[in-house]
A and B are shown apart, each in its own frame.
Chain A
């Protein structure tokens, strides 16, 4: 359908939003004319807690309401799912002890959570959060949103990145770019305006820790090095306090409540509240009232700091490694940026100040800064921000398994991405048809100490004597930090087929199936969305016609033609609030037809006046 009035509006461009998909909270932001801005939910809250609840009749609740349900129905509610993204059950055994989630069988390469009678993978649960954020953005912006920039911890590996992209696909969002959280934060601060220099970004969130060192030069944000720990964050502090409180209660009440989901959730909430208060006051109380009994424990800041000092210290090693990899001395750091709710803790700030010998930036809300940066990156991709460019790196070395279980590195960590490497493979036996390439990520020498990424099977190799085939394999890490592999037969120059078997995560087919399923479940969602899209379309044409009626061309039409336009216009206004998107669309088309003549006259008028203005 071609709308004749598009000439008034220019090409239609849907907004790209920036999303911070966090362990504890998630946010969506967009690029306003004045700069990046966070979009609040319908409850007015800018943070959407990353909590998902599956109700008895299949309804899905996300955010603050789900957080409340965590207390009453913990077995139907999931939180901190980001910690499980791109992981197998063996990776998270330790933390699962503290999570009340039930794990289904077959969770070796993808964790499957049992939730209210359904079995769900982390990308599906994250997709529910993304869907909520999209809904918030669409309601706020008044137009459909289908593309996003999503942030990930810089230290996320390939599988964790892929899982995040999968979540987007399941939610019906095209993830245009995955951006590393610390890099996004640097963008949000717009530090490039001040001067060229070296910036360290210290990002301690709910579940992950990242440190990145960047060089800024005339709008280019070049990441020199990054390091981190994908298993370190505020959650660890919560779990530590929770464990202590549970022990306390066991000795005070003579009863172990650690098996009681509701009690544990209430207590978790109490320790988190106390932790957060301790950033502002010297003493806080952990308060729990449960089944008529009361537990109270005062916690003073020095005592709190003694408890968490080990956790805070664990961030320092990655910082030192990062400095070394960036080949930057502490004295060369011009600015330090703090990101993540956990950097509100005074002890954390102190540790950062001591290490970098610089007072860190805290002007922007540490919980919002990543989402704001994602919105800036969205602006870059939309072409709205032209003076900035991010050059990020891959956090982990990429290698292949060679003889004796040794890893041979192909692309080293902290290489600027996109990055590639080429390697030639051959056969070991006469007539061999397949070659299996095992790709790993990590810094250690041996296969058993690195993380298996995938096995790539070179198939249908021409049967030749051993060592004769020469298959050139290209490993390419894209701007999202995700690997792809292509292969070519050097002798014939033809493309060699490669079958990918990811070690962790979902296959393409599995993701497709989830998209279909989510559509079925979210049929109502889709109808709502289609209606909203139709209304947006109606708004555009209604506005254009309104404007055209003030145009000289309007006077050139006959009364009959005027009548037809008015009729179509009124009819569209009458069906505007209907929930039937097809009905709205039909009347849009009718108005379109009725205004064809008007558009023609306007166009030729525009041509005439344009010609008048030019000297021939």
Chain B
């Protein structure tokens, strides 16, 4: 019952850098063939098979379409799990920024609407850091595809943890900014 390899299922080469248009085409074509709607009047066994196959297809497309989840899937297949713990640790190079961000957040929460521009500024900065991580991820994908190497996978894993850390901060700031109730009345 263990799920088959997603790359194999979609007929793809085992690469980190994927052509998204090609991936989408494969997804649509396979959907047309496998979807339960095509088997509505077939036997119960065929219907069950259609359900199982389409679930795998959808799970596979979802995992591979997004570069981050693709990298996570790829690492897992190579026995490199991403640790929840790892991504909670503050990357040393971000220590100072996180410290400042926490101060701004405190001020904002205590009703300092004046802190809003600062918080928005911090948000933009975090988004930029995340985009930078994404770009770097793309470069590492490319490098690995050309010359597969365990060290590169370890680098990707480190980068994913850093990215997840940044993304968590970003989401936290977004929640605070959206929370109008935090403003004084």
Chain A interfacial positions (CB closer than 8 Å to B): 176-177, 217-218, 220, 377, 380-383, 389-391, 415-422, 472, 474, 476-479, 486, 488
Distance of B174 from chain A, by nearest CB (Å): 10
Interface-side segment among B9-17, B55-63, B71-79 = B55-63
**B51 and A391: CB pair below 8 A?**
no
Contact A391 B55 (CB under 8 A): no
| Chain B minimum-CB-distance residue to A390 | B37
Contact in complex: A381, B40 (CB < 8 Å): yes
Stretch at the interface among B28-36, B87-95, B136-144, B161-169: B28-36
Q: Is the CB of B56 within 8 A of A415?
A: no
Q: Is the CB of A472 within 8 A of B35?
A: no
The interface bits of chain B over 37-61 (1 if a CB of A lies within 8 angstroms of the residue's CB, else 0) are 1001100000000011011101101
A476-B31 CB under 8 A given contacts A383-B41, A415-B58, A416-B58: no
Question: Are A418 and B55 closer than 8 Å at their CB atoms?
Answer: yes
- Other A-B pairs beyond A377-B37, A416-B62, A479-B36, 7, CB < 8 Å: A381-B37, A381-B41, A389-B37, A419-B58, A420-B56, A472-B1, A472-B2
Give complex CA distance A177, B59 in Å. Answer: 21
Picked from A380, A382, A389, A415, the residue with its CB within 8 Å of the CB of B31 is A389
CB of B183 within 8 Å of the partner chain: no
A592→B158 CA distance, assembly (Å): 77
Select one of B2, B32, B35, B62 contacting A419, CB under 8 A.
B62
A-chain residues with CB within 8 Å of residue B40 when the two chains form the complex: 176-177, 380-383
Asked if B31 and A419 sit within 8 Å, CB to CB, the answer is: no
When C-beta atoms are compared, the residue in chain A nearest to B54 turns out to be: A418
CA distance A382 to B54 in the complex (A): 19
Chain B contacts for A422, CB-based, 8 A: 2-3
Q: Which 9 A-B pairs give the minimum distances between C-beta atoms?
A: A381-B40, A418-B55, A420-B55, A416-B58, A479-B36, A418-B54, A419-B58, A380-B37, A418-B51
Name 9 A/B residue pairs within 8 A (Cβ), A-sorted.
Answer: A220-B31, A415-B62, A418-B36, A419-B59, A420-B56, A474-B1, A479-B51, A479-B54, A488-B1
Docked CA distance A421–B2 (Å): 11
Min CB–CB distance A217 → chain B (angstroms): 7
B41 touches A476 (CB 8 A): no
Q: Is the CB of B58 within 8 A of A418?
A: yes
Alpha-carbon distance A488/B2, docked complex (angstroms)? 10
Residues of B within 8 A of A382 (CB): 40-41
Residues from chain B with Cβ under 8 Å of A391 in the complex: 31, 35
B residues apposed to A, CB below 8 Å: 1-3, 28, 31-32, 35-37, 40-41, 51-52, 54-56, 58-59, 61-62
Q: A381: nearest residue on chain B (CB-CB)?
A: B40
B56: chain A residues within 8 A (beta carbon): 420
C-alpha spacing A391/B36, complex, angstroms: 10
Residues of chain A lying within 8 A (CB to CB) of residue B41: 381-383
Tell me whether A220 and B51 are in contact (CB under 8 A): no
Check A476/B37 contact, CB under 8 A, given A389-B31, A417-B58: no
Output the nearest chain A residue to B32 by Cβ-Cβ distance: A389
Bound CA–CA A478/B51 (angstroms): 7
In the complex, A383→B41 CA distance in Å?
9
Q: Which residues of B contact A383 (CB under 8 A)?
A: 40-41
CA distance A422 to B52 in the complex (A): 13
B31 neighbours in A (Cβ, 8 Å): 220, 389, 391
Chain A neighbourhood of B28, CB < 8 A? 217-218, 220
Most buried by A among B1, B32, B40, B56: B40
Contacts of A416 in B (CB 8 A): 58, 61-62
Give bound CA distance, A279 to B41, whole Å.
44
Chain B residues whose CB sits within 8 angstroms of the CB of A217 once the complex forms:
28
What is the CB-to-nearest-CB distance from B65 to chain A, in angstroms, rounded to a whole number? 10
CA distance A477 to B59 in the complex (A): 11
In the complex formed, the residue of B with least CB distance to A486 is: B1
Q: Give the residue name and chain of the B residue nearest to A377 (CB).
A: B37
Considering only CB atoms, which chain B residue lies closest to A391 in the complex? B31
How many Å from the CB of B38 to the closest CB on chain A? 8
Q: In the bound complex, what is the Cα–Cα distance between A261 and B62 (angstroms)?
A: 53
Question: Once bound together, how far apart are the Cα atoms of A391 and B58, in whole Å?
Answer: 10
Chain B residues with Cβ below 8 Å from A479 are: 35-37, 51, 54
User: How distant is B53 from chain A, measured CB to nearest CB, in Å?
Assistant: 9
Are the CB atoms of B51 and A476 closer together than 8 Å? yes
Q: How many angstroms between the C-alpha atoms of A472 and B2 in the bound complex?
A: 9
**Chain B positions within 8 Å of A477 at CB level:** 55
In the assembled complex, the Cα of A218 lies from the Cα of B40 at a distance in Å of: 22
CB distance from B82 to the nearest CB of A (A): 15
Residues of B within 8 A of A381 (CB): 37, 40-41
Q: Which residues of A contact B35 (CB under 8 A)?
A: 389, 391, 479
CA distance A391 to B51 in the complex (A): 13
> Which chain B residue lies CB-closest to A493?
B1
Bound complex: CA of A476 vs CA of B54, how far in Å? Answer: 11
* Bound Cα distance from A476 to B3, whole angstroms: 12
Instruction: Please name the residue on chain B nearest to A16 by beta carbon.
Output: B40
What separation, in Å, do the CA atoms of A477 and B62 have in the docked complex? 15
Contact yes or no, B55 A419, CB < 8 A: yes
Given contact pairs A416-B61, A416-B62, A472-B1, A177 touches B55 in the complex (Cβ within 8 A): no
Residues of B within 8 A of A474 (CB): 1
- Tell me, in angstroms, the Cα distance from A381 to B50 when the chains sit together: 13
Closest-CB distance, B84 to chain A (whole angstroms):
10
Chain B: minimal CB distance from A600 (Å): 30
CA of A381 to CA of B31, assembled, Å? 15
- Once bound together, how far apart are the Cα atoms of A176 and B47, in whole Å? 11
Roughly how many angstroms separate A391 CA and B31 CA in the complex, as a whole number?
8
Measured CB to CB, the closest approach of chain B to A323, in angstroms, equals 15
- Taking CB atoms, residues of chain A closer than 8 Å to B3 are 420, 422
- Taken together as a complex, chains A and B put the C-alpha atoms of A391 and B62 apart, in Å, by 13
CA distance A574 to B110 in the complex (A): 89
Per the bound structure, the CA–CA distance linking A223 and B35 in Å amounts to 15
Cα distance, A461 to B30, chains bound together (Å): 38
Instruction: Tell me the bound Cα distance from A418 to B31 in angstroms.
Output: 11
Residues on the A chain within 8 Å of B61, using CB: 416
Which residues of B lie under 8 Å from residue A488 when comparing CB positions? 1
Bound-state CA distance A391–B27 (Å) is 11
